[in-house]
Amino acid sequence: MKTNPVISAQNLSLTFQTNDGPVHALKDVSLDVDKGDFVSFIGPSGCGKTTFLRCMADLEHPTGGTITVNGTSPEEARRNRAYGYVFQAAGLYPWRTIGGNVRLPLEIMGYDKADQAARVKRVLDLVDLAGFEKKFPWQLSGGMQQRASIARALAFDADILLMDEPFGALDEIVRDHLNEQLLNLWDRTNKTICFVTHSIPEAVYLSTKIVVMSPRPGRITDVIESPLPRERPLDIRDTKEFLDIAHRVREGLRAGHSYEG
């Protein structure tokens, strides 16, 4: 029996009115994300992948079509605190310690003090930052800051994690390490993750489903269900299966570009 999709978009469109005329950030985008999926959105700048993610988070309002999150409108899902959002920049508050930053959503959502402390400890363990609770953000490396921001998004146990190029600004080695940790975390928590990225290897390595998008207007050109197993050591990236998927993604990206003429 098929369960209801966690996120479901039907003919979703979003047009920005600018001085240079309308910009079609999204046009007729339809996609279902099932529970426990790890979905990557990949495409060149301007393909609407971030806009799509922001529509799920109720940070943008679609101008056409429908989208549901947990079977409700994105606004209701946001009010129900159904998702955690990780931005490209860690965006930690410099005046709060790492623990204080992770506690921020808990304070806002009114968790009691004891629960706050327990949750902060648990999620910092989860992202391998135990012992850094009392440090200030500037005392941590970029990768550690980004891990703290993931802990912050995990702290209130939302089932959905929306991640907008969270590792985009980090170097290759740190990124590999964080990708591995993220898969591990996803495996243990069984969350539904939507992940925006520019990197083909990152998308293929992480995802159960890869959504290839193209710009002007922003749309989906290919959806690839990954045949890779859930358990993924880093060296899976040298297997033929992996390279085949990467090839298909690249083809999809190229096809998207050929429309421009």
Residues near other proteins (CB under 8 A): 57-59, 78-79, 81, 83-85, 87-89, 91, 93-97, 104-105, 107-109, 136-138
In whole angstroms, how close is the CB of 70 to other proteins at the nearest point? 15
CB-based contact 5:32 (threshold 8 Å):
yes
Q: 57 or 126, CB closer to other proteins? A: 57
Least separation, in Å, of the C-beta of 78 and other proteins?
6
Nearer CB in complex with other proteins: 79/247: 79
Query: By C-beta, is 81 or 250 nearer to other proteins?
Result: 81
> In the complex, what is the shortest distance from the CB of residue 249 to other proteins, in angstroms, rounded to a whole number?
28
Which residue(s) pair with 163 in the sheet?
Answer: 86, 195
Task: Using alpha carbons, select from 3, 83, 40, 30 the residue that is nearest to residue 208.
Answer: 40
Give the separation between CA 109 and CA 107, rounded to whole angstroms.
5
d(CA 162, CA 155): 14
Q: Which is nearer to other proteins, 78 or 257 (CB)?
A: 78
We find the least distance from the C-beta atom of residue 22 to other proteins, in angstroms, to be 22
Least CB distance from residue 138 to other proteins, whole Å? Answer: 8
Identify the CA nearest to 56 among candidates 43, 66, 47.
Answer: 66
Give the nearer residue to other proteins in terms of CB position, either 167 or 242: 167
Q: How far is the CB of 54 from other proteins (least distance, A)?
A: 8
CA gap 192, 166 in Å, rounded: 16
Q: What span, in angstroms and rounded, lies between the C-alpha atoms of 108 and 18?
A: 35
Identity of the residue, 54 or 219, whose beta carbon is nearer to other proteins in the bound complex = 54
Q: Which residues contact 109 (CB under 8 A, 6 or more apart)?
A: 81, 156
Q: Is 197 helix (H, G, I), strand (E, B) or coil?
A: strand
